């Protein structure tokens, strides 16, 4: 595809998107919310969800269809819960004591770059947030996920026709997106949202268009001696095996305090984990990575599939492959993200040592994203939050289900987690509707409160200029 045709394709999509957005911008809040509901139902409708989830696995080769059904439903319903009653049209806030009135405005045309690991859930999440802000959106799915999203878009448009939404409110490329098309899209929209490839995140940041990119995960979870170990083992199993560990929020390493190390391993074994010996560990490493890169033929596959590859005789009850590790860094591949039901174990002498290991892992990979802890010691939870470079600390929860919002925690439902400046991200929270609106602030006069020198400098001068005569008037 030459430059001219690439430019023409993107120009056509963006022109249609702008035209749709101008119409949509005039919608009232009830109309906007109806459009949002229509899009959500397009995926949540059980028959459609099943079809799309099965297609996602068959087309990408990644994940588990039943888990994707649950993910699509749960993430979409959770987002609807977060957005219920939220105003994004007209006056959305008034701060009377400051004389400030805030009015919501659209950002315009959104470009959404989405990964193959979540070819339905991530686009829908971005679409709903964009529409809530009265924007139009162009989705550029990964080539592997393109077929899935195009099929999903057919169902979306059928629902949008029912509510008489503007045509071309949501668009995608006719053919799987090339690198050139995606880069061109980034240049010509009003806002870029990138979930997935670090190369795409970097390209978006360099595009000159306002961009929100998210960082790489490499979740570490600490299990200390005060934890409810049975509960921790169950939640780790639930989280680590969900959708064959396609989520960036899936546990990659467990750091276990020495005195409860064996007991924790035993309980994980009851939950379907198996600890590999050194020989099988070496074979697993050669299978999971090829030339230092994760092997796409193995990632996001069940533990039994991976075990067969390394000639490890296990039954279907084995859900997690565990290996022990001490090293951290590029020479120790198991210390990084694995996108598979493979769990790395580290033994810590005590809690201080556990924090030290966790910090080293974060500095190697996944800094800023999140960390989990299973503990009954609230002081230790606070230590983690105060000392480690992460945007989220997940306490006594199944990490995969909790990080991107849960019905049992207060984090916004999202499939895109910002990692702050630690990973050169522009956001440090979960992507949500607030990132898809501009606000106009009306400022009126309030009762004056003139600042005085004495109020702010008297104590400072007493401390650092004692005896000096100072006229603060």
CATH number at residue 70: 3.40.605.10
Residue 225 included in any domain: yes
- Fill in the DSSP letter of residue 178: P
Give yes or no for a contact between 189 and 171, defined as CB atoms under 8 angstroms apart: no
Residues 200, 244 within the same domain: no
Give residues with Cβ within 8 angstroms of 304, minimum separation 6: 314, 315, 316, 318
* pLDDT for res 1: 55
Residues 177, 295 within the same domain: no
Which residues in the chain show pLDDT less than 50? none
Residue 412 included in any domain: no
Residues 278, 140 within the same domain: no
- Fill in the DSSP letter of residue 472: -
As separate numbers, helices (DSSP H) first and strands (DSSP E) second, the chain gives 16, 17
The neighbouring-strand residues paired with 395 are: 373
Residues 191, 300 within the same domain: no
Provide the domain limits for residue 396: 219-406
Residue 396 included in any domain: yes
Query: Exposure of 322 by Cβ count < 10 A (0-12 exposed, 13-18 middle, 19+ buried)?
Result: buried
User: What residue ranges in 108-152 does DSSP mark as E strands?
Assistant: 109-114, 136-141
Q: How far apart are CA 386 and CA 443, in angstroms?
A: 36
* pLDDT for res 200: 84
Residue 33 included in any domain: yes
Residues 194, 255 within the same domain: no
Residues 91, 136 within the same domain: yes
Query: Exposure of 274 by Cβ count < 10 A (0-12 exposed, 13-18 middle, 19+ buried)?
Result: middle
Residues 64, 174 within the same domain: yes
Residues 237, 366 within the same domain: yes
Q: How far apart are CA 463 and CA 198, in angstroms?
A: 50
Secondary structure of residue 438 in the 3-state scheme:
strand
How many domains in the chain?
2
Q: Which residues form the catalytic set?
A: 248
Residues 199, 228 within the same domain: no
pLDDT digits (tens, 9 = 90+) for 379-410: 999 999 999 999 999 999 999 999 999 999 99
Quick one: tokens of 469? 């005569």
Longest dimension (CA), the chain: 85
Q: How far apart are CA 172 and CA 120, in angstroms?
A: 13
Residues 13, 116 within the same domain: yes
Give yes or no for a contact between 273 and 320, defined as CB atoms under 8 angstroms apart: yes
Residue 182 included in any domain: yes
């Amino acid at each position: 595809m030459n430059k001219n045709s690439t430019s023409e394709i993107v120009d056509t999509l963006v022109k249609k998107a702008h035209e749709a957005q101008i119409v949509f911008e005039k919608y009232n809040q009830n109309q906007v919310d109806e459009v949002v509901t229509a899009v959500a139902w397009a995926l949540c409708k059980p028959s459609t969800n099943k079809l799309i989830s099965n297609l996602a696995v068959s087309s990408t080769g990644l994940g588990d269809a039943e888990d994707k059904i649950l993910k699509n439903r749960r993430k979409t319903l959770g987002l609807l819960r977060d957005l219920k009653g939220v105003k994004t049209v007209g006056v959305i806030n008034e701060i009377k004591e400051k004389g400030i009135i805030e009015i919501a405005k659209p950002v315009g045309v959104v470009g959404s770059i989405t990964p193959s690991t979540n070819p339905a859930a991530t686009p829908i999440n971005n679409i709903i947030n964009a529409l809530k802000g009265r924007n139009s959106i162009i989705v550029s799915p990964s080539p592997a996920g393109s077929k899935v999203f195009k099929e999903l878009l057919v169902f979306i448009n059928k629902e949008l026709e029912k509510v008489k939404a503007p045509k071309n409110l949501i668009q995608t490329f006719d053919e799987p997106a090339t690198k050139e098309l995606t880069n061109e899209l980034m240049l010509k929209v009003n806002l870029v949202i990138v979930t997935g490839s670090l190369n795409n995140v970097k390209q978006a940041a360099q595009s000159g268009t306002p961009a929100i990119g998210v960082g790489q995960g490499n979740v570490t979870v600490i299990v200390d001696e005060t934890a409810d170990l049975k509960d921790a083992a169950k939640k780790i199993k639930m989280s680590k095996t969900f959708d064959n560990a396609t989520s960036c929020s899936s546990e990659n390493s467990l750091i276990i305090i020495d005195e409860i190390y064996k007991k924790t391993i035993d309980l994980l074994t009851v939950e379907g984990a198996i600890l590999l010996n050194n020989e099988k560990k070496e074979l697993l490493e050669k299978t999971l990575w090829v030339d230092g890169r994760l092997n796409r033929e193995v990632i996001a596959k069940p533990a039994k599939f991976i075990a067969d590859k390394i000639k490890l005789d296990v039954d279907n009850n084995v859900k997690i492959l565990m290996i022990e590790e001490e090293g951290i860094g590029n020479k120790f591949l198991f210390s990084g993200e694995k996108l598979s039901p493979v769990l790395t174990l580290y033994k810590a002498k005590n809690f201080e040592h556990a924090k030290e290991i966790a910090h080293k892992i974060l500095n190697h990979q996944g800094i800023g994203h999140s960390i989990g802890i299973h503990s009954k010691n609230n002081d230790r939870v606070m230590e983690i939050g105060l000392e480690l470079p992460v945007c989220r600390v997940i306490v006594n929860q199944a990490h995969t289900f909790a990080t991107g919002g849960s019905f049992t925690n207060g984090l916004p439902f999202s499939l895109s987690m910002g990692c702050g400046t630690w990973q050169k991200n522009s956001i440090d929270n979960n992507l949500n509707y607030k990132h898809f609106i501009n606000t106009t602030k009306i400022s009126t006069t309030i009762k004056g409160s003139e600042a005085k020198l004495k109020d702010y400098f008297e104590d400072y001068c007493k401390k650092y200029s004692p005896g000096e005569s100072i006229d603060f008037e």
